[in-house]
Amino acid sequence: MRELNKSGILKNGRCSLVEPKIAEVTDLGLVHEIDYIHLVQQICVSGGGLLDLEDTMVSPETYEVARLAVGGTLKAVDLVMKGKFRNAFALVRPPGHHAGPYYAMGFCVFNNIAVAASHLLENFNLNRVLILDVDAHHGNGTQEIFYQNSKVLYISLHEDPSVFPLTGFAEEVGEDDGLGYTVNIPLPFGTNDRIYLKAFNEIVVPIITQYKPQFILVSTGFDNHQTDPVAELALSAYSYTKIFDTVLELASKFCQGKFVAILEGGYNLRVLGKLAAAVIARMAGIPYLIRDKRSGAVSAVRKKGEKMIEEVKKIQSSFWNIKS
């Protein structure tokens, strides 16, 4: 918010700041089990504590704040669907993509983007919703929720998941009705702009183009950035601007521009505001200059990355027309 205010983006007539609403329990129930929702509430009311076995701490305020995060995401989707805005960025925390139907994980309490996708299916009768996950870590919760669902295409580019969260390998492609509607692109630690954008342009874009989504949701993690203390990728701001330029084009082509980005990770506070402002400016068509040095390619990382791209292409060619 400091960066958005300093940049003048919010004073531009092309961008508006909207207050979130609070999500109802029935909204959360679109993807979460009622016993889990009540557990979160009870732990928060009793003073807070650890929700999972590792890192998801909650305070007395977390239940209400997490419901606001879901509600803000739903409001963004509703405003775009009703034509009030062409697109929107839900600046919400806690993040959501690690939260599953009955568990918290990775700082995530409720799965904001999964609730939004389910809301689009249930209340707007859509049957082709794209979730593009560009957080540094695999969205295990989002994948689990839609793994057997052909109405949601889940595409995730992320760092090697063998340390965390132990899901998101290339062979995970969905099952039953959802077979072929999960696309995982796990990239080696140290992946820079060049390899990441190669994967994006050669795998993600062709699949989205064939899918022809009716609405695009983007799990936007800024922890891919080369300075982030929590992740192991090496992207610069250049990748984010290129990705969002392409997503805007695809949204314009297939779904009248209907597109909502939702904040996920990003833990370097020095660059988080600048990256978010750069993306929001792109979405609103407002000039915003961000200077950011691009990291050079490490030969071993580049080779591993290119090998993984070819492996994903081979796996996904069973479901989509992808050139090797």
Active site residues: 98
Taking the CA atoms of 293, 229, 116 and 172 in sequence, report the sign of the dihedral they define: positive
Spatial CA neighbour of 156 closest among 202, 169, 295: 169
Respond yes or no on whether the N-terminal peptide bond of residue 165 is cis (omega within 30° of 0): yes
Spatial CA neighbour of 119 closest among 42, 55, 43, 24: 24
Dist CA 284 CA 259 (whole Å) = 12
Q: Find out whether 99 and 105 touch, Cβ atoms under 8 Å.
A: yes
Dist CA 275 CA 115 (whole Å) = 25
Long-range CB contacts (within 8 A, 24+) of 235-240:
235/191, 235/192, 235/193, 235/196, 236/192, 236/193, 236/292, 236/293, 236/294, 236/295, 237/274, 237/275, 237/278, 237/290, 237/292, 238/193, 238/292, 238/294, 239/193, 239/196, 239/197, 240/275, 240/278, 240/279
Dist CA 247 CA 306 (whole Å) = 23
- Residue 17 identity: L
Q: Which DSSP state fits 245?
A: H
CA distances to 25, 97, 100 from 144, in Å: 21, 10, 7
Task: HSE, CB side, 13 Å, CA atoms: give it for residue 281.
Answer: 23
